[in-house]
Amino acid sequence: QSVIRHGVADHNKNTFMELQRKKVHRYVIFKIDEKKKEVVVEKTGEPAESYEDFTASLPDNDCRYAVYDFDFMTSENCQKSKIFFIAW
């Protein structure tokens, strides 16, 4: 048996860091490029995009991986954000 290992391109890491640290993206959708055997960025969302924009960007019948930066207010009126990893 052989195991296919998917690599992660530096561009993917940089795009995630832009979401995490610089808040450049609301979300990043990744897919596996079977020809290259690596994970690639399929789409990024602008900071003003909503969760509905994000879900509308996901395919109906295919797998994707995504990170979504969710902003919320705490009960003490403190602005927070959490990054969610989503397997679609």
pLDDT tens per residue across span 11-31: 778 898 889 888 999 999 999
For the chain, the first-to-last Cα distance in angstroms comes to 27
Beta strands per DSSP E along the chain: 7-8, 27-33, 38-45, 65-73, 79-87
**pLDDT at 8 (0 to 100):** 59
Q: What is the pLDDT of residue 79?
A: 93
What is the rounded distance in angstroms from the CA atom of residue 6 to the CA atom of residue 12? 13
